[in-house]
Structure formats: C-alpha cells, structure tokens
Amino acid sequence: MRNRLSYCWLLVASFGLSLPASAQVVHLSLPSKLVMVADYQQGVADKPAVILLHGFLQTRLALPMSGLAQTLAAAGYTVLVPTLSEGYHLRNQTLACEAVHRHNMASDTAELALWVSWLAQNTKQAIVLVGHSSGANVVLRYASKQPDKQVAEAILVSIVPTKADPLALQLALKSQSSTRLEKYTLAYCQHNYLSTPADYSSYASWNEGRIISALRANKLPTVILLGGKDALLPSGWVQKLQLNFPTTRIVPNAGHFFDGTAELDLSDEVMTMLAKIAR
C-alpha cells in the first residue's frame, strides 16, 4: 500500500496545552484531498514507535490515549496520535451523533494504514499499534489484513462489541446499495446517528462473534487490556476473551476510560509491553 498511495505531509508547531512542548502536528492528505491530522513526538532510536488510536467519534485529544501519549513521549518513545477524519477536512473536534457519517470501518482502516506507512517512512523503529474502544476494533481489523512488516505488535484497550439495534442492523444489511441517510442507534448515539445502511452496518456488525473471528485471523502478536470495572463490557465478554486469548490482561480497578489512578496502571501496562520489543 505504501508504494501505491500518494500523499503529502506538513509539520507545523503545535501549541495545544495537552501536548508535550516539542510535539508537532502532522498533516496528511488523503487521495480524496481531505487532510488528516496527528500529533507527533519523536523519541529515542532504541525504543519502539507507537501509534495511539482514539475511540468512537473522538479525536487525538481524547483520554485515555492523549494522556498515554504524554507519558510515553516523556519516557522517550516516538508517539503518533492521529485523528480519524471521519470524512471531515482537518477534523479537530468530537463528531456529533447528528452529523452526517459517511465514514466506515474500511475508510478508518485505510487511514490507519496511511499513518503506519508515514511512520514507517520516518523511522526505522518497530511500530506498536494501540487502540482504545472502537479504535481497538480498527486496529484489530488492520492487524487481520496485511499489516506493514514494520508493525511488531497490537495492544487493544477496552475492546468491546459495538452496541447496536439488531433489527436495524438486519435491515441495513439488506439495503447495502442504498445511499439514503437514516437515523440509527450506535454506541452512545440513540436514534440520531445519521448514516447510510452500508456505512452504519460496517460498525454495527462488529459484535462479539466478529471480534473473535478477527482475533483468530489476526497476523500480529496482540495483547488485550480490559478494565475490571468496565461497565460497558457485556456479560461474559471478559471470560470469553480470557478463555480464547490468554494474552488478555485485566486491570482490576480500571473503568472503560482508565481514568483516575487507572491512567497510571494503563501507562505501566503499556510500557511493560513496549520494553519487551526490540528495535
């Protein structure tokens, strides 16, 4: 993919308060001419580079990935934190449920692949992908396809089946050719997620079975990190993952967003894994 995709990038100084002082903003243009945005911090050469991907409709500034980015950068890791464009030029704000959603899992995965390609061209370090919540689903989809040879590992934080209306999903799957915008329930968006049947179902179909299948098809060493107090995880999900994938780890007192003191636990867990990866 790296040789087929043409893109340009521009580094500009960032003055965002949530970023390390020496962080930069990378602008990367898509074939559609939309421009994506990421925060970039170059670290030392003997540590892996890390891409951190945010959750549902969020941006690179959202917790817990933005906090983890600061901790990793301070520890000397090269860190890239992109914002998925979701079909919007230079997107810098959380996307509202009521917005027009013409993005899908395939476009999200393609954007992640572009960022991996950009980072692989700008560093010789091994690359580790870390995704949170729905961002973990995107990382997993990428890992189950043809990941770049420089990508060494994936870490899936708070990975959870997508909450959707089963009947609406069935109807959407039967109307894949329709370009009509409909209002759906998806994750925390209640009857106000405006999308086409095909784009909506690309997310809504990521149920327990779809995630398990993708994990089995996964081509990367992968660790799953779940909060022991994550109220968004469906009943039995933790046990199912632990049974099928022994690399599943539980952080006892963490919720879905690893907030509070659990933010430190997340950083410790991730850095322990990163320390095991050779350059």
Tens digit of pLDDT at every position of the chain (279 positions): 333 333 333 333 233 334 444 689 999 999 999 999 999 999 999 999 999 999 999 999 999 999 999 999 999 999 999 999 999 999 999 999 999 999 999 999 999 999 999 999 999 999 999 999 999 999 999 999 999 999 999 999 999 999 999 999 999 999 999 999 999 999 999 999 999 999 999 999 999 999 999 999 999 999 999 999 999 999 999 999 999 999 999 999 999 999 999 999 999 999 999 999 865
* Beta carbons of 33 and 58 less than 8 angstroms apart: no
- CA-to-CA distance for 157 and 266, rounded, in angstroms? 9
At residue 23, the pLDDT reads 80
pTM (2 d.p.): 0.92
What's the half-sphere exposure (Cβ side, CA atoms, 13 Å) at 83?
Answer: 28
pLDDT of the residue at 193:
98
- Cβ within 8 Å of residue 246, ≥6 positions away: none
Instruction: Give residue 17's pLDDT.
Output: 35
Q: Which CATH architecture has domain 41-79+92-157+206-275?
A: 3-Layer(aba) Sandwich (3.40)
Q: Where do the structural domains in the chain lie, given as residue ranges?
A: 41-79+92-157+206-275, 163-204
Q: Residue 221, preceding bond cis, omega within 30 degrees?
A: no
Quote the radius of gyration of the chain (alpha carbons, Å).
Answer: 18
Look at the alpha carbons of 203, 186, 222, 217 in this order and tell me if their dihedral is positive or negative: negative
